[in-house]
Amino acid sequence: MDARRAHDEPGVSRDERAPMRRRVVAASIVGSALEWYDYALYGLASALVLNKLFFPDLGSEVGTIASVATFAVGFVARPLGGVVLGNLGDRHGRKAVMITTLVLMGIATTLIGALPTYGSIGIWAPILLVFLRLCQGFGAGAEFGGAVVMSAEYAPRGKRGLFASTAQVGAEIGMLLSTAAFAVVGTLPQDSLLSWGWRIPFLVGIVPVAVGLFLRLRVQDTPEYQRVKGSGEQPRVPMAELLRTAPKQVLLAAGARLMDPPLGYLYTVFVTVYAVKQVGVSQQTVLTGLLIASALGIGSVALFGHLTDRWGTRRIYLAAAAFAVLLAFPFYWLIDTGQPVVIWLALILGTSVGKELNNAGQAAYLTEMFEPRIRVSGVSLARESVSAVGGLIPVLGLSLVNWAGGSYWPVAVLMVVLGAISFVCISLSRPAVAGANDPDPAAAPEYAKDGATR
């Protein structure tokens, strides 16, 4: 198909295209910010306070593991959300899935802030907490898929990588806001923090829901989706069509993502517990470092997204996997010094560089791996099938450290192994969009049925 035609389909006129792109980028950023505000906030809370509020009878060590395990529960529902809502995105439009995911996640997060604790209602407190985590996970199952696909499909020629990375910019804003919120309430006296202070960051989650809903209701579906809908190519059950025609693409894309959960959660949730309990640094030292790393990550993920357009998606994504392997042991050497500035350097390298290099490469890579008619389903399934396992990473990390007598080495080995697998899968995969790995990914958007470039 001619490249110009892909950007001139019915639905958005040429005069409307620039302001519509700005709305789409804003909607993508706000929604992704909410997703990661929810997840990072819950991860920090599970590591620092929820064990005392919802699992007080289990003791400090076991209570912390149980609390962090509820963080993992949300990931169990993500593949199901990816399947159900991914179908929605390909069948009824990217806009529909973006609105649905935003509302589900936002309401669940706000209700967590209103939950009675174990001291008030006993066993029902952790049961309700787990239920709301499942709702969060179901909604998040297609948030990334919907947001990154819409941004990529609205991208001007030669800027798909940059536009796709805007969802990850939102993720870093969410991380920054959640870390800042917890850093502020963490300064409260312990009694105040445990009685009411911890609730505030969850309750204010309703604000980005309102802003995001306003923005997402004002966008139109992408020209590529309009073309598929009008051409009769739209499958009745997109997820079934995906599994029938592109199973290899799904497997390789999922394998490429194996490094993503440890980069995201070993360097945020797990390291918070490890640094405080094993190294003996203060909670505020780690939160300050995460705050700095998240702030820097907003700019670095956009820079790396731009580089995917200059140097090619595969090169950036392969560089991310190689960096993940090389950083695995040095990261913990730096943390184990116990020096705040050195710990902040480790968190910057792990988050602002390693994680964001991966995030930018992943965003462009996933959108290029699947044809538009099954793209939201493909991105959501490949991403969230790994996220289900990824939610166990902080729990696995804590268990491995306990098994190793307080040493980090099994966690570093885990990062090396998963990073190496990702490197191999990226090397073996080919985009469904011809020319997608070239510096101008929109230059030849023809679709190969077998997933190979032609």
Please give the chain's pLDDT, 454 residues, in tens: 333 444 444 455 554 667 788 888 888 888 788 777 877 787 777 767 777 788 766 655 555 666 666 767 777 888 888 888 888 888 888 888 888 888 888 888 899 889 998 888 888 888 888 888 888 888 887 787 788 888 888 888 888 888 888 888 888 888 788 878 877 887 888 888 888 888 998 898 888 888 888 888 888 888 888 888 888 778 888 889 999 999 999 999 999 999 988 887 788 778 888 888 888 888 888 888 988 988 898 889 889 988 998 998 889 999 999 999 999 999 999 999 999 999 999 999 998 999 989 988 888 898 889 998 999 999 988 888 887 776 677 778 888 888 888 888 999 999 999 999 999 999 999 888 654 444 443 433 443 443 333 3
38, part of any domain? yes
Looking up tokens 């529909």 gives 96
Considering its fold, how many domains does the chain have in total? 1
453, part of any domain? no
Burial environment of residue 376 by CB neighbours within 10 A (0 to 12, 13 to 18, 19 or more): buried
Q: SS3 for 370?
A: coil
245, part of any domain? yes
22, part of any domain? yes
Closest CA to 85 of 37, 151, 140: 140
* Angstrom distance (rounded) from CA 242 to CA 180: 40
DSSP 447: B
Q: The CATH number of the domain where 35 resides is what?
A: 1.20.1250.20
446, part of any domain? no
What token pair was written down for 44? 């920090």
Domain containing residue 199: 3-222+236-428
The per-residue pLDDT for range 249-298, each reduced to its tens digit, is: 999 999 999 998 888 778 877 888 888 888 888 888 888 898 898 889 88
309, part of any domain? yes
Partners of 433 in beta bridges: 447
437, part of any domain? no
* Angstrom distance (rounded) from CA 15 to CA 21: 11
447, part of any domain? no
